[in-house]
Amino acid sequence: MQLRRFYGDVRPDLSFQGIYQLAIAVVLSAQTTDRQVNEVTQPLFAQYPGFKELASAHQKDIEKIIRSTGFFRMKAKHIISLSREVMDVYGGKLPNSREELMKLPGIGRKSANVILSVGFGIPAFAVDTHISRIAQRLGYTNSNDPIEVEKILTSIIPENEWTSTHLLLIRHGRSLCLARNPQCDKCPVSALCDYFYNIRKK
């Protein structure tokens, strides 16, 4: 795969240790950058090292720490409520099924798939705006529906490569295949790209 040769071994941009930190970081990552999340999770996890501690936190205290991530009131509410449910319903252990994860506050399908694949090593493919954009530009789909994009990509990508491909596509979307002014001249897969082909025809 050209992207794999171009980018090498790609790791998540979120900084985390263990499933607790990953889950909270993923919830905080909505509508902000991983870099911004990493700046707030260090003090957050130092003060609240697990679900138990976060479950008993005061929302105002959490808001002060995560304020710079945007939507901080809702995010603070979500991660506290999530932690309480993990403690009360799941005995302090995050569930490892998509259905159960999606019952938790702040976790949708994309977030659940990230937690499953990156945190638990369970095959799942998370589709974000970068992946959806790249899939459309490469001609795999015309759909903007993340579930439809997920179905298409998982039907053609081997299951054991879902996690690594997810990370590669995100890196590509953040580095070269930008929403505005994509750097097609530097792209290792431009020869396969419908978007690039249509640009050259003009």
The structure's pTM equals: 0.92
Residue in 37, 21, 42 with CA at minimum distance from that of residue 115 = 21
- pLDDT beyond 90 at 201: no
Per-residue pLDDT of 66-111, as tens digits, reads: 999 999 999 999 999 999 999 999 999 999 999 999 999 999 999 9
From the list 61, 128, 185, 186, the catalytic residue is 128
Structural domain boundaries enclosing 71: 18-120
Question: Domain tally for the chain?
Answer: 2
Residue 146 has a pLDDT of: 94
pLDDT number for residue 200? 66
Is 64 a catalytic site residue? no
Q: Is residue 81 in some structural domain?
A: yes
Q: State the catalytic residue, choosing from 64, 110, 186, 202.
A: 110
Residue 50 has pLDDT above 70, yes or no: yes
DSSP state of 69: G
User: Is residue 133, in this structure, part of any structural domain at all?
Assistant: yes
Q: Based on the fold, state whether residues 86 and 153 are members of the same structural domain.
A: no
Whether 202 has a pLDDT exceeding 90, the answer reads no
Do 41 and 107 sit in the same domain of this protein? yes
Quick check: is 128 catalytic? yes
Nearest CA-CA partner of 115 in 126, 106, 127, 130: 126
